[in-house]
Amino acid sequence: STNTADYIWSNGEMIAWQDATVHVLTHAMHYGTSVFEGIRCYDTPNGPVVFRHREHMQRLKDSAKIYRFPIPFSVDALMEGCRETLRVNQLRSAYIRPLGFVGNVGLGVCPPVDTEMDVIIAAFSWGSYLGEDALAQGVDAMISSWNRAAPNTIPTAAKAGGNYLSSLLVGGEARRHGYAEGIALDVRGFLSEGAGENLFVIKNGVISTPPATSAILPGITRDSIITLAKEQGYTVREEPIAREALYLADEVFMTGTAAEIVPVRSVDQITVGEGQRGPITAALQQAFFGLFDGTTDDKWGWLDPVNPQ
Ligand code: PMP
């Protein structure tokens, strides 16, 4: 695997990469009982920074809270563990993967009450998930035959390991058919999100994105883009969106920590707008990536320095 480094933070201690192993009867391996995050560290003129660090670690805690799994570390302790992981691995830009999992507690589906999760933080170099080319050229996507989970089945606001079987079905189907990514509908048939990205639709200068009630993961990149777009004077609506709005949009793009801001140039082989990255998508990419080269002022305190002065 290319996803390697020298050290991994494990339950508060730094251990060698190859020692970060678990037993085959680990609960999470059988029942999907894990929660995780994907976070990016960007190299900036002022040194490496973790993007929206606190919000990501808080979402990890929130995911665990939904399932009543205690995580025995505070948000601040997790953030310090993460900075330490970046420092010992000498990473200036990285993808960071914190994970909480139900470990060696026996194979009863319901773990003993108050079972604490094991927690690890790994970090390694990783380029944009759908490729650097995708950021400029856009990608071809398809609507999946798989829906996202109904709201009374598995909560999509939790970033839990088991949820990613849905992403595997949606993303895998798309790739088998030659598309870069799949987009899922919610159980009512409204647009939900990509397999690992939130979705934005632009028509006549108005930006829309599916709401929390459309079975999405409330993405932190999504929130950042909503904030940056409003800052630039755009109207942003969180509202149910019909599938055909993708076909008739001027621009469509997807957002995620791994994927960053990716234009969608076609959906189901119907060209979106001009079939290339549109001007509003480009402006929002510039505002977003500008946070890391210093051309966008970080008014919101989104950048957490890895090496505080
Ligand atoms: N939806 C899903 C299903 C995801 O896995 C991700 C990636 N974490 C996102 C949306 C985007 O979320 P974020 O911007 O917080 O990375």
Question: What domains can be seen in the chain, in order of their start residue?
Answer: 7-124 (3.30.470.10), 132-293 (3.20.10.10)
CA 185 to chain CA centroid, nearest Å: 18
Among the atoms of ligand 1, which is closest to the Cα of residue 222? 14
6, 77 Cβ separation under 8 angstroms: no
What is residue 216's predicted lDDT score, i.e. its pLDDT?
Answer: 98
73-86: per-residue pLDDT in tens? Answer: 999 999 999 999 99
Q: Which residue's alpha carbon is nearest to atom 3 within ligand 1?
A: 196
Pairing of strands 181-185, 139-143: parallel
- The verdict on the CB of residue 256 being under 6 Å from ligand 1 is yes
Backbone angles phi, psi at 17, to 5 degrees: -50, -50
167 close to ligand 1 (CB < 6 Angstrom) = yes
Which residue owns the Cα nearest ligand 1 atom 10? 197
CA distances from 260 to 61, 91, 276, 295 (A): 23, 19, 17, 17
What whole-number percentage of the chain has pLDDT above 70? 99
Closest residue by Cα to atom 5, ligand 1, is 196
Spatial separation of the C-alpha atoms in residues 221 and 154, rounded to whole Å:
22
Q: Tell me the whole-structure pTM to 2 decimals.
A: 0.97
pLDDT exceeds cutoff 80 at 260: yes
- Is the CB of residue 257 below 6 angstroms from any atom belonging to ligand 1? yes
Predicted confidence at residue 114, as pLDDT, reads 83
Q: Is the CB of 260 under 6 A from ligand 1?
A: no
Q: Is 65 a catalytic residue?
A: no
Instruction: Check if 219 has its Cβ closer than 6 Å to any atom of ligand 1.
Output: yes
Residue nearest to atom 11 of ligand 1 (CA): 256
Predicted local distance difference test score (pLDDT) of residue 132: 86
> Which ligand 1 atom minimizes the distance to the CA of 38?
8
- Judged against a pLDDT cut of 60, whether residue 1 lies above it is answered with no
Ligand 1 centroid to Cα of residue 106, in Å, is 31
The pLDDT of residue 288 is 98
CB 288 within 8 A of CB 280: no
Say how many Å lie between the CA of residue 304 and the centre of ligand 1. 20
Angle between helix 53-66 and helix 75-88 axes, rounded to 10 deg: 130
Of the residues 159, 203, 230, 299, which is catalytic? 159
Nearest CA to ligand 1 atom 4: 196
Helix, coil or strand: residue 30: helix
* Secondary structure class of 6 (helix, strand, coil): coil
List residues bridging with 140 in a β-sheet: 266
Closest ligand 1 atom, CA of 37? Answer: 8
| 71-118 per-position pLDDT tens digit | 999 999 999 999 999 999 999 999 999 999 999 999 999 999 889 999
**Ligand 1, closest atom to CA 198?**
10
What distance in Å separates the CA atoms of residue 28 and residue 218, rounded to the nearest whole number?
Answer: 23
Specify the DSSP class assigned to residue 63.
Answer: H
Partners of 271 in the β-ladder: 266
pLDDT tens digits for 120-164?
999 999 887 788 899 999 999 999 999 999 999 999 999 999 999
